[in-house]
Structure 1
Amino acid sequence: MHSTDASADDTLDLHLPEEFVALFRTAANDATDAATAPEREGLRAHEGLRAHEDLLDGIADWGPSDTPAGAFHLVPVDLERDLALIARWMNDPAVAAYWELTGPQSVTADHLRAQLTGDGRSVPCVGMLDGVPMSYWEIYRADLDQLARYCPVRPHDTGVHLLIGDGADRGRGLGTELIRAVADLVLAGRPACTRVLAEPDVRNRPSVAAFLGAGFRPMGEVDLPAKRAVLMIRAREAPEPSP
């Protein structure tokens, strides 16, 4: 089972609402004004990082998740460390059919760098299973994504793109277990998020089946710029009523 994302355009083409920009600017200015001169330099250097963490609530700090397949951990991409592996996965024909990032490493590098140097609405991650890198994920703010132009989204809705790297790991239910684990991580790590979204290509039946098995509900089909997709949603469960 692999991702249905066809291009970086789906997650990198919207401007942040002004209220978000103003919020980050105000917080940064307040902190900088209260700091000493050396501290101000450090604060300015990390303003972008704090903004990224605010948009997706510090994915790097979410920690591992226990799954039936082992301990799973989302680790934000380090371009120098991870590029060769992710580029190899992108050149697998089964992956390339949906991601369309075949070619030299520079193609994958451009896709990753656009997210890593962007405003933080999409964070590329390597999925580690028992310490072994075996999948690629993009966790993104669906309410700040092009997806919001094509279907109703709610504030803080969080989207997921993924691919399973090696063919030996596909077709045995592993995707379902990992999708469930990642959805749990998103909902635990992002208290303001009430729904996790996915938009697998309608042709990618194994992907659709994996999301179904992970508790996502199909909400209909939607025409996106690069594909016709099934919009799938896993909602946060409502708390049990008090007795």
Structure 2
Amino acid sequence: MTFTFRPLDPLKDAELLHSWVTHPKAAFWMMQEAKLQDVERAYMEIAADEHHHALLGLRDGVPVFLMEKYDPARRELVGLYEAQPGDVGMHFLTPPTDTPVHGFTRAVITAIMAHLFEDPATRRVVVEPDVRNTAVHALNAAVGFVPEREIDKPEKRALLSFCTREQFEKAVAA
């Protein structure tokens, strides 16, 4: 599967995003009760933030997933771990579907990781999914993430995990 990326347009894409983040499948996204205006506002804040970026992943020009990348030394994980130069934080969301495609989500996270490592400054990717999100833990492991420890964030208990470029390349070559 081939994906391309484009910056998310908070106003143009808000309705689509709203349908994704409020779906029961997206419970770990913590926006179940969000109104359309809440989604617009949240992504306008990200668009204005030089340390946090939202992108849509496209397949044949159609948005099929959301990816956020952020500087974990300045957003999300400030004070919760010792950031290193070249660390990039990442979140991703695949929307609900009535016709699941086997291997789709793994292809998405693989494409996201490859995209992040296209930047030579990226040395490792940092994630902090909810400890209860076992599905994403398995996907993370499949692309080379190694859990370090559980941490307490204001909104959740999270599993802090890291993946270096070498760990990613080894995992996807296997």
User: How far apart in 2 are the matches of 1:222 and 1:74?
Assistant: 30
Q: Which secondary structure does the structure 2 equivalent of 1:225 belong to?
A: coil
Does the 8 Å CA contact 2:25/2:96 hold for their aligned counterparts? no
Q: Map 1:1-243; keep pairs closer than 5 Å.
A: 70-95=1-26, 97-101=27-31, 102-118=33-49, 120-168=50-98, 172-189=102-119, 191-237=120-166
Does the 8 Å CA contact 1:164/1:170 hold for their aligned counterparts? no
- The normalised TM-score by structure 2 is 0.87
Q: CA deviation at 1:171?
A: 8.1
Does the 8 Å CA contact 1:72/1:128 hold for their aligned counterparts? yes
Q: Which secondary structure does the structure 1 equivalent of 2:82 belong to?
A: coil
**Aligned CA distance change for structure 1 residues 171 and 232 (closer, same or farther; 3 Å):** farther
Q: Which secondary structure does the structure 1 equivalent of 2:12 belong to?
A: helix
Higher relative contact order (CA 8 A, sep 6+): 1
Does the 8 Å CA contact 2:70/2:88 hold for their aligned counterparts? yes
Q: CA deviation at 1:103?
A: 3.0
- Which residues of structure 1 form unaligned runs of 5+? 1-69, 239-243
User: How far apart in 2 are the matches of 1:222 and 1:170?
Assistant: 32
Instruction: Write the deviation string for residues 54-92 of structure 1: whole angstroms up to 9, x where unpaired.
Output: xxxxxxxxxxxxxxxx21112111123211100111110
Identity of aligned residues (%): 29
Q: CA deviation at 1:236?
A: 2.0
Does the 8 Å CA contact 1:134/1:166 hold for their aligned counterparts? no
Q: Which secondary structure does the structure 2 equivalent of 1:143 belong to?
A: coil
Q: CA RMSD in A?
A: 1.8
Q: Which secondary structure does the structure 1 equivalent of 2:118 belong to?
A: helix
User: How far apart in 2 are the matches of 1:143 and 1:78?
Assistant: 25
Match of 1:19 in 2: none
User: How far apart in 2 are the matches of 1:126 and 1:77?
Assistant: 6
User: How far apart in 2 are the matches of 1:149 and 1:162?
Assistant: 22
